[in-house]
Each structure stands twice: as structure tokens, then as C-alpha cells.
Amino acid sequence: MSDAFRRLLKQVGSGTHTSKSLSREAAEEAMTLMLRQEATPAQIGGFMIAHRIRRPTPEELAGMLDAYDVLGPHVEAIAHSKVYVFCYPYDGRSRTAPVAPLVSLILAAAGVASLCHGGRRMPTKFGVPLVELWQQLGVDWTALSLTQLQRVFEQTLLGLVYLPHHFPLAEGLTVYREELGKRPPMASMELIWNPYRGAATLVSGFVHPPTEERLLETLQWRRREGQGATRVLFVKGLEGSCDLPRDRTCILSRHHFEAGSEGEQTHSERLLLHPAEFGQGGPEIAYTTQTDWQNWAEQTLAGELNPLWSAVVWNAGFYLWQANVADDLAMGIAQAQDLLVSGAARKALQILRQTLTPVGTA
């Protein structure tokens, strides 16, 4: 048993009237002890339930992310000015068809880099994760070393940090998600964890407005120490992902952190986008089987209309616009369509496969 962790657990789990939130430093200590399994299973489970009930504060989340920075993997900066770090919920998608890999291929074809992170199928939803979707496209991220991933990212502008291989300490805590049956505080951290060490736009999906507010405050805590991304995009996406919906108004917010004479300043802007105004509205496509998704993905990359087409061009067009590759959203949508019809996105997939082949056999 860890006496140090017992002290921290007592502070957050004493009850409604006597519990206290942790300082940033104490939260980092708690996460470090959990990641290193120096706390016992009973202590870790108790901490997760206590935080599930009372919700971690932004200061606590900032401290936990500090521990991820120290113990987690780092993807070093590449010589590229346009980089997105996409943060999707680790427990995947189960109701609506994801488009993230296809959007990333379109972005790569346009010279925009995309880095994601995630793991295997994970509680509580056990939805399809990003790594399995990539495997349906003939791309396997699961066996790369961090050095190999760095090289692939530099050469193709595409990358995925795979938890079981690149961050086994964090992977070691996933068993508690299933045993407790609830998302732990790490589920909030994952939506804003940034393993990239260069300038990038962090994209985070969310479902509930309080989550957006808490995550923004967490990032502001980190910016006080000069840590984290300076540009952030929050997306009220499908199942909490970074995929924009098509059956309703898209709610997003952009934030830019900038140092000023009075300290770090946050410049924020709310975006409300109506897909129907751009000819992209319609019902969401249900996720059925991996075979169906693979067929739709291959048709999309071949420039053929299919159920996923509008969702792909809508999302890719938006991110091309936000990356300043397109002057406005309408132009972004048109450019996304051109990159599919011309075969440029499919070429990006071919380059990725060719790059991975010698890496995988090295």
C-alpha cells in the first residue's frame, strides 16, 4: 500500500462536506503513482470513483496531464507549419460511422499533418477505435516503435500514438474502466492530451457544454506554465468525437492563447455552422459492420459517391478551411471533393502503406 497515495485519496474521497480538491502538484503525484502502479488496485479504484462522483477540477486535470507529459511518449516537432492533433474518445464509436481516417488522408494530400492517439477496444462503450478503422484500410499502427512512428509521421504527415505499445503505463489503467463500469477522470484528460512537441492545433470532441468549459479551463491552467497547444478547437461532435454532425447545427469554438502584457490571454470565438446551407445536410450514417465501412471508405477514396461521401467532404472541407488551406468553408468542401476525385487522397494512402511496409519489416 502507498501511504502517499492514501493521503491523496483521503483528501478527495472524504465526502461531500469534507473532501477537498487536489493542488496541481498533488494531482500530478496521484497520477504518477497510479501510472506506475505504486498505488494498490483498491486505492486506484477508490480514487477513480471519488473523482467520478465529484468530477476533477481543471487544476487537477492540469496536474494529471503534467504526469502524462513526464511519463508518456513524445512525438517530436516536424518541419511543418500545419499540424492537427485530434483527440477522440478512446472508447470509440458504436452508433454513427466515423470518417476520421479518410479526413486525415485528405488533409495529408493537401499538406496538412494529422496526429491521433488511442488504443484497442475500450470500456465503457467498446466502440470501434481508430486503430481498427485504419487496419481496414491496410494500415497497422500497432507494431511501430516510437522512433518508427516519428519517421512515418515526418514522411507521410500521418500518425497514431497507440497506447498499448507507446504508453503502456496508461494502458495499464484501462482495466479499471471495465471493472468500475464508469469512465474515469482519464477519459477527460484524453480529450486534451497532446503528445506532439511542436506548434499544432489541438482538436477536441465533446458532448456536454460543461465538459467544454472544464477542458478549456484546464488548458488555461497549463498555459500559465507555457505548456500545451496555443490553438484549440472544440467540436460538439458525433458521440463526442471530432466528426462534425450533418443532421443538426454544428457547434464549435476556437481559442487562441497569446502572451500579453497582463499575462496569458485567451481569444475565443463561437462557430455555428449549418450543413444544409452548404449542400451537406442529411441524416447521420449508422455504423453497421467493419466490412460495410471498409467498402464505403474504398469507394470514397476512389471518388465514388456512397453513404459516407457527404460526411467525409463536410468534415474535410471544414478542417481544410480551419488550416487556412481554403479561404472559406465552401472552398474547403470543393477542395476536399477535388482531392478525392483526382485520386490525391488515395495516393496519400498508398504512400502511407509503402512507407509502413519497410518499417514493419525492419
The 10s digit of each residue's pLDDT in 8-30 is: 999 988 766 567 899 999 999 99
18 CB-near residues (< 8 Å, 6+ apart) = none
Distance of CA 27 to the CA centre of its chain: 22
- The radius of gyration of the chain from alpha carbons, rounded to an integer in Å, stands at 20
pLDDT digits (tens, 9 = 90+) for 175-199: 998 899 888 888 999 999 999 999 9
Note the pTM of the prediction, 2 decimals. 0.95
Does residue 67 sit within a domain? no
Range of the domain at 115: 74-362
Q: Are residues 225 and 147 part of one domain?
A: yes
Q: Are residues 82 and 32 part of one domain?
A: no
Domains contained in the chain, number: 2
- Cα separation values, 332 from 163, 191, 249, 321, Å: 32, 25, 18, 5
Q: Is 140 exposed, middle or buried (0-12, 13-18, 19+ CB in 10 A)?
A: middle
CB 315 within 8 A of CB 244: yes
Strand partners, 87: 204
CB 247 within 8 A of CB 283: yes
Closest CA to 343 of 301, 297, 294, 296: 301
Q: Are residues 308 and 249 part of one domain?
A: yes
Q: Are residues 91 and 38 part of one domain?
A: no
**What residue has cell string 498499448?**
164
* DSSP structural state of residue 332: H
Q: Are residues 91 and 48 part of one domain?
A: no
Sheet holding 83-87, edge to edge: 158-162, 113-118, 83-87, 201-205, 231-235, 250-260, 263-273
Cell numbers for 296? 464505403
Does residue 106 sit within a domain? yes
- Cα separation values, 299 from 165, 281, 293, Å: 31, 20, 10
194 CB-near residues (< 8 Å, 6+ apart) = 85, 87, 200, 202, 228, 229
Under DSSP, is residue 294 helix (H, G, I), strand (E, B) or coil? helix
Q: Are residues 91 and 32 part of one domain?
A: no
Does residue 236 sit within a domain? yes
Phi and psi at residue 224, in whole multiples of 5°?
-65, -25
Cell numbers for 324? 487556412
Does residue 62 sit within a domain? no
Give the domain CATH number at 293: 3.40.1030.10
A 10 A CB-CB count for 277 gives: 11
Q: Are residues 209 and 104 part of one domain?
A: yes
Mark out the alpha helices in 120-260 (DSSP H runs). 130-136, 146-156, 163-166, 168-171, 175-180, 186-189, 209-223
Cell numbers for 336? 476536399
Closest CA to 133 of 164, 174, 92: 92
Q: Are residues 78 and 168 part of one domain?
A: yes
Q: Are residues 178 and 43 part of one domain?
A: no
Percentage of the chain modeled with pLDDT above 70:
96
Count H helices, E strands: the chain? 16, 7
How confident is the prediction along the chain (362 residues), in pLDDT tens digits per residue? 689 999 999 998 876 656 789 999 999 999 999 999 999 999 999 999 988 888 899 999 999 999 999 999 999 999 988 999 999 999 999 999 999 999 999 999 999 999 999 999 999 999 999 999 999 999 999 999 999 999 999 999 999 999 999 999 999 999 998 899 888 888 999 999 999 999 999 999 999 889 999 999 999 999 988 888 899 999 999 999 999 999 999 999 999 998 765 667 899 999 999 999 999 999 999 999 999 999 999 999 999 999 999 999 999 999 999 999 999 999 999 999 999 999 999 999 999 999 998 765 44
Does residue 59 sit within a domain? no
Q: How far apart are CA 31 and CA 186, in angstroms?
A: 9
Q: Are residues 179 and 251 part of one domain?
A: yes
Does residue 243 sit within a domain? yes
Cell numbers for 41? 488496485
Cell numbers for 57? 477540477
